Amino acid sequence: MEEIKPNCIIIHGCPSDAEKAMNPATRTYDKHWIPWLKLALVAAGIATETPRMPDPWEPSYQKFKTEFEKYEVNENTILVGHSCGCAFLVRWLGETKREIFKLVLVAPWKIPDKDDEFKKEFYTYPIDENIKLRVNEIVMFTADNEENEGKESLKIFHQALGGTIIELKGRGHYKLGDMGTEEFPELLEKLVSFDNRKALIVPINSKHQIFIQDRRGYKKPDWGYFGGEIEKGETPLQAIIRETKEELQIDVRADELKYLGTSITPWNERKIIRYMFLYRTDQEKFNVLEGKGGHWLAFEEVRERLDNKDRFDEISDRIRKAEEKSL
């Protein structure tokens, strides 16, 4: 019997600066972490849509509904909302009584701005508490530094729907300016069951060389990054500090590591997520206990040796951007 794969629809928030939002060059309401999440989900085999809602600076439930219902929603669908997108999804689920797989609310909002008739109509509705009986899993993301009205909105949704609350530090209202990055791996891992979760280190020296592991005759692939599996209960940062001690016999501090982001790889029908960390050092030799040791190699040499799944072009581009920021 053919496996039925889930699909995902992500609904963005509502901007407060209408003039900026109307300009395609300056609008951000449908950006932030949304394009990154879509790419990551598609890479993991989940078809994902990110519709742009009509005139979100003056949100209309009926207009949102007309656009949203162009997309298929069934019992295998994952719905993700950001800010006012959460309010729309909850209202729509209550109205239509639809069954879905997962509902994720990111920085949910339900308190209208003063004297804003559009948002007053958009946010003011009773929440159907029976939604939780028609959804397999409900997750809500908030932040320790979210605005007070955002925290109050979270309470309203959670009191009615229950579910799991995840509070992350320093994420604000989960906009790009608040987060400082377009990546949102904590959300991704709530949507995708990865077969492997790894933390990998990329040592780089002042000669612009990278230290990679030589595994020839030890295990496949022949060459690779140092690092390993993230154990249960570990953060990626804790994992890479532990793995670096085990594999390179050195103690690295958190402030010596630069987070490069994640790399998503489907490989032999397995889904792999890798958390990559840059480590600047001019140490020439390491006491490598596995394989045939390691080698400092120029970027072109590393590209030739690494397997396709290691996505070196993607990683080298992130290294370049990290180095530009440090100048």
Determine how many CB atoms are found less than 10 A away from the CB of residue 171. 23
Burial class of residue 146 (count of CB atoms within 10 Å of its CB; 0-12, 13-18, 19+): buried
Determine how many CB atoms are found less than 10 A away from the CB of residue 151. 15
The sign of the CA dihedral 37, 38, 41, 46 is: positive
* Spatial distance between the Cα atoms of 305 and 316, rounded to a whole number of angstroms: 14
State the Rg of the chain over Cα: 22
User: Side by side, which strands form the sheet with 47-49?
Assistant: 47-49, 7-11, 77-82, 100-106, 135-143, 164-168
At residue 1, the pLDDT reads 46
Pair of tokens at residue 255: 């402030």
- CATH code given to domain 7-191: 3.40.50.1820
At residue 3, the pLDDT reads 61
Mean pLDDT by 10 residues, the chain (327 residues): 80 89 90 96 93 95 98 97 98 98 98 86 96 98 97 98 97 96 96 94 96 91 94 95 95 96 82 94 92 93 88 90 77
Query: What stretch of H or E contains 253?
Result: none
Determine how many CB atoms are found less than 10 A away from the CB of residue 248. 23
Specify the CATH class of 196-326 in words: alpha beta
Determine how many CB atoms are found less than 10 A away from the CB of residue 130. 13
Domain ranges of the chain: 7-191, 196-326
At residue 53, the pLDDT reads 97
Polymer length of the chain: 327
Q: Which residues pair with 137 in a beta bridge?
A: 102
* Spatial distance between the Cα atoms of 259 and 236, rounded to a whole number of angstroms: 10
* Spatial distance between the Cα atoms of 11 and 20, rounded to a whole number of angstroms: 19
DSSP, residue by residue, 108-164: ----PPTT-HHHHHHH-S---TTHHHHEEEEEEEEETT--HHHHHHHHHHHHHH--E
Q: Which residues pair with 228 in a beta bridge?
A: 199
- Position of tokens 């154990």? 231
